[in-house]
């Protein structure tokens, strides 16, 4: 069990959790550990994840990972900025920004249909050699 709240996201990411327990763990932020009580912050928008069934699964995984019996307490309120979910959201936003930047650069090197500009060839073709056919 990490004592540093900043280590909580990596810790819960490494746990083998059932999907809903993983959602719960990913949305939480470690607030404190006092004795055997782990206090986790949970955004109000995700309070449904604190359901007993999901929190029991998270508790069981924490007990197994640490070899210790824990009690979980949830502080439901504001957005958890240092949660695993918040970190992943920031990474995805950063990755998306990089892709958009790369896309703009690629677009600048392509025509309106997304095709790259034609390669320069040495075929001897010049525009003055083209004559217009009339019917």
pLDDT for 61-93, tens place per residue?
A: 999 999 999 999 999 986 667 677 767 766 777
The span from the CA of 15 to the CA of 77, in Å, is: 25
pLDDT tens, 29-47?
999 999 999 999 999 999 9
For the ranges 4-8, 79-83, 86-90, 107-111, which has the lowest average pLDDT?
A: 107-111
User: Residues 44, 78: contact at Cβ < 8 Å?
Assistant: yes
Instruction: List beta partners, residue 43.
Output: 77
Q: What is the pTM of this model?
A: 0.61
The strand order across the sheet containing 37-43 reads 29-34, 37-43, 71-77
Q: Where are the domains of the chain?
A: 5-85
User: What is the topology classification, in CATH, of domain 5-85?
Assistant: GMP Synthetase; Chain A, domain 3 (3.30.300)
pLDDT at residue 85, as a whole number: 72
Q: What is the DSSP letter of 31?
A: E
């Amino acid at each position: 069990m990490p004592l540093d709240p900043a280590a909580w996201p990596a810790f819960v990411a490494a746990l083998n959790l059932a999907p809903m327990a993983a959602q719960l763990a990913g949305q939480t932020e470690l607030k404190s550990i006092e004795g055997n009580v782990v206090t986790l912050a949970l955004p109000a928008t995700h309070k449904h994840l604190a359901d007993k069934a999901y929190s029991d699964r998270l508790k069981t995984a924490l007990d197994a990972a640490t070899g210790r019996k824990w009690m979980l307490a949830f502080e439901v309120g504001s957005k958890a900025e240092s949660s695993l979910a918040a970190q992943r959201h920031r990474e995805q936003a950063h990755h998306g920004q990089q892709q958009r930047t790369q896309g703009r650069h690629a677009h600048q090197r392509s025509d309106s249909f997304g095709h790259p500009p034609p390669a320069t060839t040495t075929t001897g073709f010049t525009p003055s050699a083209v004559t217009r056919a009339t019917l």
